Structure 1
Amino acid sequence: MLGTKLPSPQAPKSPRFAIIVAGGTGTRMGADRPKQFLELQGEPVLLHTLRRFAAPALSVQRLVLVLPADQLEVWQELHARYAPELRHEVVTGGATRWASVRQGLLHLGAQTEGLVAVHDGVRPLTPLSVIENTYAAAEQHGAAIAAVPPKDSVRGLSATGSYALDRSRLRLVQTPQCFELGLLRRAYQMPELPTFTDDASVVEDLHPIQLVQGDYGNIKITTPDDLLLAEALLRRG
């Protein structure tokens, strides 16, 4: 499978945790089920994602999945059918992504030390090297996120038209986004704001965000074309 091995895994210095957030409905997919439950090479997209973080080389101690209340029973059935051996904890999410991540943090309980990665449930192809490097950067800097340079020219909008942007100074943000657990807890004690588009935007007023090289294959599945691309990438290996 794509990116399932690390070249030289090392024992992490800090305990590692992961919160996988999956709250999609499948509307843009035109599907009859949430996009995280659609099949990718014969298994649910979400299962591919969880397996990445459950890889022994990453040494993630607790893997927390956050789902809407009305999807818990479906996931329980899928988990039992496809991968009953996959150990993880399931939490009911909130009305927004922010609220869902907060629920995941609350589920970690009294744990105060360590690193926590937050990841989109519909990013099933993230190379283990990207996950490892993001954890390692968070260990060193406190906050780190995966990102890639844009391939296309980019323009900004103005009242009179548009203007060119220097794409060398821009990055497309991905997940995982990794943080010191205490830092992320402090950030999520603040009220939710419309400007919170991801976890880095919640944290950045408290702490600088380190960028880690992501991967163009680390796609977020939101449309039918994304699912076709994911199938092709997995076949290529």
Structure 2
Amino acid sequence: MKKYAIIVAGGSGSRMGTTLPKQFLPLCGKPVLWHSLNSFLLAWTDLEIILVLPQDHLTVGQDIVNTTSHPARITITVGGETRFHSVKNGLSLINEPAIVFVHDAVRCLITTDLIHRCYDTTLEKGNAIPAIQPIDTLRITTPDGNQLLDRDKVRIIQTPQTFYSDIIKKAFQQPYDPSFTDEASVVEKLGIPIQLIEGESTNIKITRPLDLLLAEKILASNSAS
């Protein structure tokens, strides 16, 4: 079945303390974004990528695309006001039945194994959302203070969030709602059950300087092995 990956690269560098958005920062000699693009290009030879970029960074994004192994398989489009609108812009370029991956550009350690497992589960169940169990103790604030959560019943959600194209395109025809924090929340509002699969502890989101250091260590370890 046809495959598309919408890679959303609309973040800023505010929490990194840099003027350059984090998706363009160097990681082991390549921009963070390059690593995400490369993982999807390696997953299948027929997969196409739709890269969603801020208007002000189209040129630097194109320069990165040109350094990949298959730039012709990558289409760039402009992002919107929110993540919801950026993904919607990407979806507008898909006009055939397909499996659609939506991935954070700054989750640059994504493996082809996880991409393939998302695909297989989506073929069977209609969607696949990678998630991992937290290792820390969790508490939730309440009007009276706070209370302990059972971490065995809580999951940390990752990307790529993966869907049949007809499901996700229909979901994104809904009006924007601030509760739409990811694609699963948009699809779930249609009444469609969300299918969680086991994610990867190394599938981290580059947000702070420490994350970049950790990603460098993981990539170096993977190269050594």
Alignment TM-score > 0.5, same fold? yes
Q: 2:26 aligns with which of 39, 60, 63?
A: 39
SS for the counterpart of 1:91 is strand
Please name the residue that 1:23 is paired with: 10
- Does residue 74 (structure 1) correspond to residue 60 (structure 2)? The answer is yes
- Does residue 58 (structure 1) correspond to residue 51 (structure 2)? The answer is no
Please name the residue that 1:91 is paired with: 77
SS for the counterpart of 1:107 is coil
SS for the counterpart of 2:63 is helix
List per-residue Cα deviations over 1:174-203 (Å, max 9, x = no partner): 000000100001000000101000000000
- Does residue 163 (structure 1) correspond to residue 147 (structure 2)? The answer is yes
Structure 1 residue 59 displacement after superposition: 4.5
**Aligned AA for 1:169?**
K
Residue pairs, 1:211-222, within 5 angstroms: 211-222=196-207
2: CA distance between counterparts of 1:84 and 1:129?
19
Structure 1 residue 139 displacement after superposition: 0.8
SS for the counterpart of 2:158 is strand
SS for the counterpart of 1:76 is helix
Please name the residue that 2:179 is paired with: 195
Cα RMSD between the aligned structures?
A: 1.2
**Aligned AA for 2:213?**
L
Structure 1 residue 24 displacement after superposition: 1.1
Counting aligned pairs with the same residue, the percent is 45
Q: 2:109 aligns with which of 120, 125, 130?
A: 125
CA contact (8 A) 2:51 2:75 kept: yes
Q: 1:223 aligns with which of 199, 208, 224?
A: 208
Q: TM-score, normalised by structure 1?
A: 0.89
Structure 1 residue 84 displacement after superposition: 6.5
Please name the residue that 2:221 is paired with: 236
Structure 1 residue 83 displacement after superposition: 3.0
Gaps of 5+ in 2: none
1: CA distance between counterparts of 2:200 and 2:64?
28
SS for the counterpart of 1:220 is coil
Runs of 4+ in 1 over 4 A off after TM superposition: none
SS for the counterpart of 1:232 is helix
**Aligned AA for 1:98?**
F
Work out the number of aligned pairs and report it: 220
CA contact (8 A) 1:125 1:219 kept: yes
Structure 1 residue 231 displacement after superposition: 0.3
Please name the residue that 2:124 is paired with: 140
Gaps of 5+ in 1: 1-13
2: CA distance between counterparts of 1:228 and 1:189?
39
Larger CA deviation: 59-68 vs 88-97: 59-68
Q: TM-score, normalised by structure 2?
A: 0.94
Structure 1 residue 220 displacement after superposition: 0.4
Structure 1 residue 85 displacement after superposition: 4.1
2: CA distance between counterparts of 1:84 and 1:114?
23
Q: Evaluate the alpha carbon distance shift between residue 114 and residue 76 of structure 1 in structure 2; reply closer, same or farther with a 3 A threshold.
A: closer
Structure 1 residue 61 displacement after superposition: 2.7
